């Protein structure tokens, strides 16, 4: 994994801010959708699509591409925004989110939007899909090292038993080219995760099933990039990155509030959110001058 130079970090910070602005704009236009998770994961998706992934937006069927499996499909605004900003489709199309007939549905539909690897909606199924892909890849002429399978998961969906069935299987079969990334933002639609169904210690749980575990600040590009590099250097087991994030990151009145898990901003809220993100964008530029 290539190191991040200061100039690349500046580029990623600016791009993540652009993606957050697109998320707010598309949710406003849709009038429904999820705000907290997409804003909180903007940095990680920016890093993936603009630095980490082996992919080609102009050659969607490229066999050697890395695969992105979004398990918590309700945060798809950040996936769509990252894809649009990296050239998969026009940025203007983002404002069709959740519209009738749009390719950008409230949960990703693989057959409607080229570049989407899996359809998602029912929580807890993404890691099983990633495991199936990795096993299929291994069975294909015995090749297991030619691509990476990045499975993005929410912490709330770890309440689902199917996740742990997939965890057990990946650990047993030493599927080392699976890299799970957990959005550890500590909220779900009904409240805080530790009040609803305590998850910690996630590290102990995954390690007990033969996974390599890393924990990072999900908003620090260098830390996440280093963690992915460490995961790629692990050849005896799958890896999971527990990314501690702030839900609603970048919009002060949304940050750390579970009420914004499944809520979209109204016109006044969106205006204030966009003003805050514009101010943040100015700070990013000035800090790197």
> d(Cα 227, Cα 65) in Å, to the nearest integer?
20
Rounded alpha-carbon distances, angstroms, from residue 184 to 14, 187, 219, 235: 23, 8, 12, 25
Q: 232-266: per-residue pLDDT in tens?
A: 999 999 999 999 999 999 999 999 999 999 999 99
Q: Does 285 have pLDDT greater than 90?
A: no
Q: Does 142 have pLDDT greater than 90?
A: no
Instruction: Round the average pLDDT of the chain to a whole number and report it.
Output: 95
Contact 128, 164 (CB under 8 A): no
pLDDT category at 140 given cuts 50, 70, 90 is: confident
Closest CA to 45 of 59, 55, 60, 33: 55
Two structure tokens written together for 279:
């101010």
Residue 216 bridge partners (DSSP):
243
- Give me the pLDDT at residue 34, please: 97
Q: 262-284: per-residue pLDDT in tens?
A: 999 999 999 999 999 999 998 88
Please state whether beta strands 239-244 and 178-184 pair in parallel, antiparallel, or not at all (unpaired): parallel
Q: Round the CA-based radius of gyration of the chain to a whole number and report it.
A: 18
Least confident range from 104-108, 145-149, 193-197, 249-253: namely 145-149
- Residue 252 CB-density burial (10 A; 0-12 exposed, 13-18 middle, 19+ buried): exposed
Q: What is the DSSP secondary structure assignment for residue 276, as one 8-state letter? A: H
Q: 93-104: per-residue pLDDT in tens?
A: 999 999 999 999
Q: 162-189: per-residue pLDDT in tens?
A: 999 999 999 999 999 999 999 999 999 9
CATH topology assigned to domain 6-287: Rossmann fold (3.40.50)
pLDDT category at 145 given cuts 50, 70, 90 is: low
Two structure tokens written together for 272:
């204030």
Rounded to two decimals, the pTM is: 0.96
Domain residue spans in the chain? 6-287
- Give me the pLDDT at residue 121, please: 83
Contact 288, 6 (CB under 8 A): yes
Q: 23-79: per-residue pLDDT in tens?
A: 999 999 999 999 999 999 999 999 999 999 999 999 999 999 999 999 999 999 999
């Amino acid at each position: 994994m290539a190191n991040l130079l200061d100039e690349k970090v500046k580029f990623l910070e600016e791009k993540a801010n652009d993606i957050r602005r697109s998320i707010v704009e598309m949710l406003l236009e849709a009038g429904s959708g999820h705000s907290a998770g997409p804003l909180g994961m903007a940095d990680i998706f920016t890093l993936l699509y603009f630095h980490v992934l082996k992919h080609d937006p102009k050659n969607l069927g490229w066999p050697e591409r890395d695969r992105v499996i979004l398990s918590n499909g309700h945060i798809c605004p950040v996936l769509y925004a990252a894809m649009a900003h990296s050239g998969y489709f026009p940025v203007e199309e983002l404002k069709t989110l959740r519209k009738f007939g749009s390719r950008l549905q409230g949960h990703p539909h693989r057959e409607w939007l080229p570049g989407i690897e899996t359809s998602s909606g029912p929580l807890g199924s993404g890691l099983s899909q990633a495991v199936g892909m990795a096993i299929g890849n291994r069975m294909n002429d015995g090749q297991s090292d030619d691509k990476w399978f990045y499975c993005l998961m929410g912490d709330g969906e770890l309440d689902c038993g199917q996740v742990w069935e997939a965890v057990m299987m990946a650990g047993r079969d030493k599927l080392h080219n699976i890299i799970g990334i957990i959005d550890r933002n500590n909220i779900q639609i009904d409240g805080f995760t530790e009040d609803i169904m305590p998850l910690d210690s996630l590290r102990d749980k995954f390690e007990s099933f033969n996974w390599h575990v890393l924990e990072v600040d999900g908003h620090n590009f260098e830390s996440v990039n280093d963690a992915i590099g460490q995961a790629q250097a692990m050849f005896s087991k799958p890896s999971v990155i527990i990314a501690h994030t702030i839900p609603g990151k970048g919009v002060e009145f949304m940050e750390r509030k579970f009420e914004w898990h499944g809520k979209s901003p109204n016109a006044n809220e969106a205006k204030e959110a966009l003003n805050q993100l514009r101010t943040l964008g100015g700070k990013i530029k000035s800090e790197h001058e």
